[in-house]
Amino acid sequence: MGKGAGEKQKLRMTRQRRVLLEVLAKAGTHPTADEIYRMVRRRLPHISLGTVYRNLELLSEKGIIGKLDLGGTQRRFDQERGLHYHVRCVRCGRVDDVPIKPAAGLERAARKATDYRITGHRLEFVGLCARCKTDAGAPAEGGPESG
């Protein structure tokens, strides 16, 4: 008999999922599914891209990993689940954590300023990473330069 609508189904930790999590932990960045796929294939050469995508979605739905829908074109994945901020390079798309404490009063201020029931927040900084800011090449894309 199947599980009831109110019951959570436990996620079985397959070898593929374990390797995905290990690769994500070692990456030290916020890789895309394609980047994770390339890294996982070194350990599991026969894994398909579809399997990687499905498992990343499942792991994010279960709250085991974070899925970042930032201003870039591709979703990125994050092993850190707690509230934290990110910075994205508007030229190359690199994403890093911002090592500052989340603003405690931000949600309270948003509640007072709107009639919304605020349930959380995300904050993304944009700019040029160290590599891109030294490159005098192509113009930056993706956002206003003012702050």
Instruction: Give the domain CATH number at 58.
Output: 1.10.10.10
DSSP 51: H
Angle at 42 between CA 12 and CA 65, to 5 degrees: 40
The answer to whether residues 48 and 21 belong to one domain is: yes
How do the residues of the chain divide into helix, strand and coil, expressed in percent and rounded to 5? 35, 15, 55
The answer to whether residues 88 and 69 belong to one domain is: no
The answer to whether residues 55 and 88 belong to one domain is: no
The answer to whether residues 51 and 98 belong to one domain is: no
116-131 per-position pLDDT tens digit: 998 888 888 999 999 9
User: Is residue 15 domain-resident?
Assistant: yes
46-59 per-position pLDDT tens digit: 999 999 999 999 99
Tell me if 58 sits within 8 A of 71, measured CB to CB. no
User: Is residue 50 domain-resident?
Assistant: yes
121: containing domain: 83-138
Instruction: Give the domain CATH number at 105.
Output: 3.30.1490.190
Kindly indicate the confidence band of residue 34, based on its pLDDT and cuts at 50, 70 and 90. very high
- Total-model pTM: 0.66
The answer to whether residues 92 and 124 belong to one domain is: yes
Beta strands in the chain (DSSP E): 66-68, 76-78, 85-89, 95-98, 124-127
Pairing of strands 85-89, 95-98: antiparallel
Q: What is the residue-averaged pLDDT of the chain?
A: 82
User: Is residue 146 domain-resident?
Assistant: no
The answer to whether residues 39 and 92 belong to one domain is: no
User: Is residue 147 domain-resident?
Assistant: no
Distance from C-alpha of 127 to C-alpha of 129, rounded to nearest angstrom: 7
- The SS3 call for residue 76 is strand
Max mean pLDDT range (40-44, 68-72, 115-119): 40-44
Domain count across the chain = 2
The answer to whether residues 37 and 73 belong to one domain is: yes
Give yes or no for residue 93 having a pLDDT over 70.
yes
The answer to whether residues 67 and 51 belong to one domain is: yes
